[in-house]
Structure 1
């Protein structure tokens, strides 16, 4: 019977482990605290939050801030636009990145190296804001929902990640599919695509976060208020926080008891609540894709 001897931990290794764990615990708390600070200030008494009295523990907890902010004009429609652009944009970008990444690994693709370099060079050169606006206008994409989706479908960085990941897969997979009579599209859909789950999850995270957080394209291309994204609308509300707080105050009347004062909107409460509404949904996506994200980004970076 073989007995496996347990390796003795030296004092130096023990000290390193303690220091390492302590460092990362502190680092995690530093990263987590800003989100925690936003949350506790959005659910605490608004007069205390405005005075800067809420730092670690929420006080006089209430959810009136969220009820009142979500009742602001245009919020439901803007949320629908943001969800739509995030879901559709992410889906199309992932499919395009997967297909182009796959095609750029095919030796039989016509002028493969030229087209690959043609796509990659766009990472380093940009025509600028005015030519981009003129292009979108000439394509009749301004003031349409598709201006959020179509310009973001082809992303060179995502294509590089997928291409590198596919090159790390065994060539025997494609060879076996070709021997069975599969064409290029069949090989892509039935062999390559199911094998690319980790890297596609990584691309999906990058794209979803970018689509959800984007508001500058609304500022540039959209004047129709029905097409405002949630982020742009909330960005406007943050800039108008003082006037919104005054409007809510006037609508409640002059006499206020202590309970009303605690839930009365202030510029600080509006900014905190809006920030939480913007950040919270995308934070729920990361845990769902975390296991794929780490694997995909590491495997996609093995080969250059």
Structure 2
């Protein structure tokens, strides 16, 4: 079997491509690497900005002490709950609405579709939103993390486009056999749109996990605080927190290299918050190209 010969131009082009993408990957990865090595390095050196490319004076006391901070475990559970429940609700609603909007027999289909899409471009602002949420009883209420995110126009558009790429003959044959809309959706359409659902799930999960403004405006009860909101507060109070942690360690256990500083608290809390989504994101990445591109170009 003859090996395909590559011309000089193609070799140069591939070399440039690989170089550019490797550099781009390093640029994207380095901030997380920098954050991590500073959380496990000597806090004295970190505070002086001397940790750049590799860790020095490695220790794990930052994580041990920060994980003991009041409210962090409960905030993690709230964030996990809102991410899982909110993502599931968003994916299901987007899938079903995207499927319905492909049905020409749907009453007022064009009107309702445009009505949903137009909300992408216009909103009333923070104050009307807050008043509406308050009147609906969604202050200090976990449902405030779920209900407003169920209908997402962008996700509906993605799924609608994807469903339209599926041969109509599959649905028509099921209809001839007496299948209703729900049967067709759950048994035929839903399994076929798994790639775009995975894409939507990742987008929604990242959005839910990173959100903290709704907590800032709607929640005064600490039991509803999310991890991102706790991070927001800790970042603003890092100096005070560092003092509290140092005092809780006691004079016997004080070590200049491991002594908590505002910088170490900020970096450690940031790393704890960002790690879960970093672990989940690569797993679903394989679905992105297929999920986004199928149906985007029609012949």
Q: TM-score, normalised by structure 1?
A: 0.95
Residue 234 of structure 1 and its aligned partner are, at CA, apart by 1.4
Counterpart pick for 1:213 among 210, 213, 216: 210
Residue 219 of structure 1 and its aligned partner are, at CA, apart by 0.3
Q: Secondary structure at the match of 1:44?
A: coil
Q: Does 1:223 align with 2:220?
A: yes
Q: Does 1:270 align with 2:265?
A: yes
Contact preservation (8 Å) 1:93, 1:207: yes
Query: Quick one: structure 1 residues 149 and 138, their matched pair in 2 at CA, closer, same or farther if it must change by over 3 Å?
Result: same
Alpha-carbon distance between aligned partners in 2 of 1:143 and 1:193, rounded to the nearest angstrom? 35
Q: Deviations 1:116-167 (Å, cap 9, x if unpaired)?
A: 0000000011011111111111111111000011001000000000000000
Contact preservation (8 Å) 1:75, 1:230: yes
Q: Does 1:290 align with 2:285?
A: yes
Q: Secondary structure at the match of 2:257?
A: helix
Contact preservation (8 Å) 2:196, 2:292: yes
Q: Which residue of 2 aligns with 1:74?
A: 71
Q: Which residue of 2 aligns with 1:302?
A: 297
Q: Which residue of 2 aligns with 1:279?
A: 274
* Stretches of structure 1 lacking an aligned partner (at least 5 in a row): none
Contact preservation (8 Å) 2:65, 2:245: no
Q: Deviations 1:66-87 (Å, cap 9, x if unpaired)?
A: 1111110111111110000000
Alpha-carbon distance between aligned partners in 2 of 1:175 and 1:255, rounded to the nearest angstrom? 76
Residue 252 of structure 1 and its aligned partner are, at CA, apart by 3.7
Q: Secondary structure at the match of 1:263?
A: coil
Supply the RMSD in Å over aligned alpha carbons.
1.5
| Match runs of 1:112-191 below 5 Å | 112-191=109-188
Q: Does 1:54 align with 2:47?
A: no
Q: Give the paired residue count.
A: 299
Q: Which residue of 2 aligns with 1:63?
A: 60
Residue 6 of structure 1 and its aligned partner are, at CA, apart by 3.9
Q: TM-score, normalised by structure 2?
A: 0.96
Counterpart pick for 1:194 among 183, 191, 197: 191
Alpha-carbon distance between aligned partners in 1 of 2:296 and 2:213, rounded to the nearest angstrom? 30
Q: Secondary structure at the match of 1:123?
A: coil
Alpha-carbon distance between aligned partners in 2 of 1:86 and 1:255, rounded to the nearest angstrom? 41
Alpha-carbon distance between aligned partners in 1 of 2:157 and 2:249, rounded to the nearest angstrom? 56
| Match runs of 1:248-263 below 5 Å | 248-253=245-250, 260-263=255-258
Contact preservation (8 Å) 1:205, 1:289: yes
Counterpart pick for 1:28 among 25, 32, 43: 25
Residue 9 of structure 1 and its aligned partner are, at CA, apart by 1.7
Q: Which residue of 2 aligns with 1:42?
A: 39
* Stretches of structure 2 lacking an aligned partner (at least 5 in a row): none
